[in-house]
Amino acid sequence: MSNAPQQPGQITPDPSIPLPPLHLRMGGRHFKQDADFVAAGVRDAKLLRQRAGLGRRKRVLDWGCGAGRLAVGIKHLIGNVADYHGVDIQPELLNWAKDHLSDEHTRFTLVDAHNARYNPDGTPSFEIPADDASVDVLYAYSVFSHMLTHDLAGYGATIARILAPDGHAWITAFVEEDVPDCVENPPDYLKLEWSGALHCVRYDRRFLEATLWEAGLAVDEFVYGKETDGQSMYVLRKR
């Protein structure tokens, strides 16, 4: 990743909230300074509050949570929500988060799902461990940006199933207009060099939105190109 989203203002990290060591921070080179890591989590928690209804009574599913950047942001911004549930497939990151950030409102679950980039030996699955209609706010930052169409459709259906009737999903993805439906590591895209499995998966906007629609999700909001490395942001709801 080379272009991190801009962080408004400086944040002083609360020393009582543990922060993951640098090597466990996804997008680590943007986050050499603790303040930058915390600011990125707080920024997203604020956006979730403004656009996806995040609040202290809400049930949050942080899908692809890494070492808990959003959990750190929520702890700094509002203390806690009713239930924060972080899910990831990388044991080292997830276990750090579980050991250091868990509390009565904050939990983490490791799943062994296959992803060619992050867990190549995992089992093919579209599992997100949550009951039907049990999630008020689903956050997936830079997760579909490392997934091909099969996973987009399969996990899209899972998200539609676990969202509460008035819940929202806030996701990011690489999206452009009038490009091939799905390309892994598009050459010269965004002036960055993409290499290795699923480093950058770019979607055609119409294709991505149609696939999510088929999966049971409608687009509430789309903001082009302002997230990490030029990803776009979607707010989705059950259709």
Please name every residue paired with 87 in a beta bridge, in sequence order, or none if there are none. Answer: 63, 109
Instruction: Kindly identify the residues of this chain, within the stretch 117-136, that bind ligand SAM according to CB under 6 A.
Output: 118
Cβ at position 178, least distance to ligand SAM in Å: 26
- Which residues fall within 8 angstroms of residue 200, CB to CB, at 6 or more apart? 145, 146, 174, 184, 185, 186, 189, 192, 194, 229
Tell whether residue 88 is a contact of ligand SAM (CB under 6 A): yes
For ligand SAM, the closer CB: 136 or 151: 151
Stretch that binds ligand SAM, among 2-10, 95-103, 138-146, 210-218 (CB under 6 A): 138-146
Tell whether residue 232 is a contact of ligand SAM (CB under 6 A): no
Tell whether residue 90 is a contact of ligand SAM (CB under 6 A): yes
- What DSSP line would sit under 55-100, residue for residue? -TT-EEEEET-TTTHHHHHHHHHTS--SEEEEEES-HHHHHHHHHH
- Which residues fall within 8 angstroms of residue 55, CB to CB, at 6 or more apart? 49, 78, 81
| Pair 127, 113: CB distance under 8 Å | yes
Tell whether residue 38 is a contact of ligand SAM (CB under 6 A): no
For ligand SAM, the closer CB: 197 or 218: 197
For ligand SAM, the closer CB: 90 or 232: 90
Residues that bind ligand SAM (CB under 6 A): 26, 63-66, 69, 87-90, 93, 111, 113, 115, 118, 141-143, 146
